[in-house]
A and B are shown apart, each in its own frame.
Chain A
Amino acid sequence: MTLKRNVGLRGLTYAGGGPMLAWILHRISGLGIIIFVSIHVLAGFSTHVVGSAWGDPVNRIYESLPFQIFIFFCVLYHALNGLRIVLLDFWPRMLEHQRLAIYLQWAIFIPVFGLSVFLMIRSALASG
């Protein structure tokens, strides 16, 4: 039943707010990390242990700038959001301030991620 429901772009207007955004971004970033790490291990294993060459184009993909920005987003968001979840789960009294916690998390995430992306783009431009 759930799988046959056609949500489409109307899902974007669902009034879940910050907590829903955090939940879906936690899932997306977690899946991004899993896909990246799995492919990375498989490609490295086949290159260096099996001796096959299919890992080389894969290496070029994840050494590219857009992919690095994406994976850095995944790692940083997943880590910060996970710490927020751990704090709220282990100290349930903090749940009173859960919306504040989400704003605080964005207040940490945006400067750190923005500065890193700026440095990544700047060094990519400088090296050619």
Chain B
Amino acid sequence: MQRARPAPQNGFNFEYMMWLFTRISGLALSLLAIIGIIGAFWMGAREQIDVGALLRWTFFPNPFHVVNSEIPDVTIGWATAYWQIMQMMIVFFGVTHGMNGLRMVIEDYLGSPRARILTRSLLFLFWLFLVIACVYVILYS
């Protein structure tokens, strides 16, 4: 049998760090999602909400992102530094959590060290692009 992935080692190494990060960022994302839902309801989304709008508010509370919703004057509530920081935290935790998860899934099916290096490099570049694109949207909306 070909070994798909090296066995985990003891101690504070990359795999353990990402294991811990996945759990902590998962908890953080749940908390940020709840804060986003409460913020949406606070700003008057009680009447007009549908599931698409709920997901837009919950996971990227950006005035540019929720502009399709039927809330009047949506930019007044959301375009503050507080929500910008919330968005940046969601983007950082979410994209890193997702790209690390994709790395885990891919490496379950990869044998050779060369393929692993290639995947990690590509995923790192994609991670960087997603974070930069999202931060651009946050800062210029």
A residues contacting B by CB (< 8 A) are 1-3, 27, 30-31, 33-34, 37-38, 41, 44-45, 48-49, 63, 68, 71-72, 75, 79, 82-83, 85-86, 89-90, 116, 119-120, 123
Contacts and interface: CB of A to CB of B under 8 A. Distances in A.
A123 B130 CA distance: 33
Interface stretch (B10-18, B75-83, B133-141): B133-141
Contacts of A49: 133, 136
Given A1-B1, A34-B99, 11 more contacts: A2-B4, A37-B98, A41-B130, A49-B133, A63-B52, A71-B55, A72-B51, A75-B55, A79-B29, A83-B26, A90-B23
B133 A41 contact: yes
Interface in B53-75: 55, 59
A45 B137 CA distance: 8
Interface in B12-48: 23, 26-27, 29-30, 33
B98 A82 contact: no
B107 to A, nearest CB: 13
Contacts of B26: 79, 82-83, 86
Q: 10 closest pairs, A vs B, by CB? A: A82-B26, A34-B98, A45-B133, A86-B23, A30-B101, A120-B51, A1-B2, A1-B1, A41-B133, A34-B102
B130 A120 contact: no
A79 B26 CA distance: 8
19 contacts: A2-B4, A2-B109, A30-B102, A34-B98, A34-B101, A37-B98, A38-B126, A41-B133, A45-B137, A48-B137, A72-B51, A79-B26, A82-B26, A83-B26, A83-B30, A86-B23, A90-B23, A119-B50, A123-B50
